[in-house]
A = this chain, B = another copy of it.
């Protein structure tokens, strides 16, 4: 960094791309045909197997932790949690420990002034539909140090050397802190300005096209969503160069629907809480709540049992650990076996939004989870796994009923999305955004706060937002 280069904020260009479904290479329809062909052309086969049929994976004798022979990838081990947050304050559970920082990255390039994103049709064994739209690169450190002897993932070199591409977005972001122990990845968007080779399973899409695909169930994978959630939109920074109204005029956004215009305003409008007030709210909660997470051998985890086919809770239909065998024609290694976390019931991730003083605000939740790096992360209004089980057993999930009872005219977004298919088996969450009336006052428990989208994005880039908040943010798009 001895020769710093002044760069223009890329936010306006990203907004242009978000508003554009026109693609000089292929229409969204043509893309879908291409994607369907990929499904047909390739051979995928995933089957649950007993743990005893796992190759290279074994239960370590002393701890019964589930490990890979290389000592790399991830292990499944146990944790014991003590916290003063929430109704369950002491429990034990299995967790994925993968201390490496991986790379989730998208290459972007401008064509006719519009940024296009290089996306990949990629199979993951845990996906309900196997093939999903994925970022250019999703690589664990074990991938790029070639532990399993496969090929290096294509395009990886653009994310390692700043001379190969301009790093526009480059942030450490966390994964599911209820399932992963302090796991995070480097979320990157890098820009090239020259021709690059486009490999077989890759294609260029505008952000507007990807936003459209995000309206279909289980189409855009979690890794793509977390990277896309980091895409900045024009806020006050850009409005200093050019007022937002001028920009909207130039972009012909007058045809946008009401909610899309509210979203635009929420990026740069006045917030009901200042940044300093939000930091104060967060500071007070971090001071008040504590959590200790002790790593324990998997064999000692209370209330969980292991059979030859799964490790599961004795009573509740929570997640379980299973093993699968995989055969595929488009992955670095042709066939393999691996453990996955199976999630038997659907979850719900939702934002309540509401105008305050005319500006759309999002209701955010501070949440303590065992895998968090520093006690608390910010989650969406509702972030609830196994919704039906929890309803039937009388769990109190604040604001859940707003989503379950939402009237059609309140629903701004409602799509099922998949969590990461390389670790989770059929783990689905309904992603919802609802809008209340400005006059609908609601009382907030101490760990909830209203934020504008501009503020959410400001805190997101410093790592406050959890994966559930980010995946939902990625789904937000503009409608003509």
Q: Which residues of A contact B (CB under 8 A)?
A: 1-2, 4, 6-7, 9, 101, 167-172, 186, 232, 236-237, 240, 270, 272-277, 279-281, 283-284, 286-287, 356-357, 373-374, 442-444, 446, 448-450, 461-462
Contacts and interface: CB of A to CB of B under 8 A. Distances in A.
B277 A101 contact: no
Contacts of A237: 236
B1 A281 contact: yes
A176 to B, nearest CB: 19
B4 A277 contact: yes
B444 A273 contact: no
A276 B168 contact: yes
A1 B101 contact: no
A450 B37 CA distance: 50
Contacts of A281: 1
B4 A273 contact: yes
Given A4-B273, A171-B279, 11 more contacts: A1-B444, A1-B448, A4-B449, A4-B450, A9-B274, A169-B280, A170-B276, A171-B280, A172-B283, A236-B236, A236-B240
B374 A170 contact: no
B186 A287 contact: yes
Q: Which of A167, A169, A287 has the most CB of B within 10 A?
A: A287
A170 B7 contact: no
A283 B186 contact: yes
A2 B374 CA distance: 25
Contacts of A283: 170-172, 186
State the copy count for this chain. Answer: 2
A175 to B, nearest CB: 15
A167 B280 contact: yes
A274 B186 contact: no
Contacts of A284: 170
Given A373-B374, A374-B374, A287 B4 contact: no
Contacts of A461: 275-276, 279
Given A1-B273, A273-B4, A275-B461, A101 B449 contact: no
A449 B232 CA distance: 23
Nearest to A449: B1
A123 B449 CA distance: 40
A156 to B, nearest CB: 14
A286 B172 contact: yes
A170 B2 contact: no
A233 to B, nearest CB: 13
A429 to B, nearest CB: 27
A1 B276 contact: no
23 contacts: A1-B277, A1-B281, A1-B446, A1-B448, A2-B443, A4-B450, A6-B270, A6-B357, A7-B274, A7-B277, A9-B274, A167-B280, A168-B276, A170-B276, A171-B280, A172-B283, A172-B286, A172-B287, A186-B283, A186-B287, A232-B276, A236-B237, A373-B374
Contacts of A277: 1, 4, 7, 167
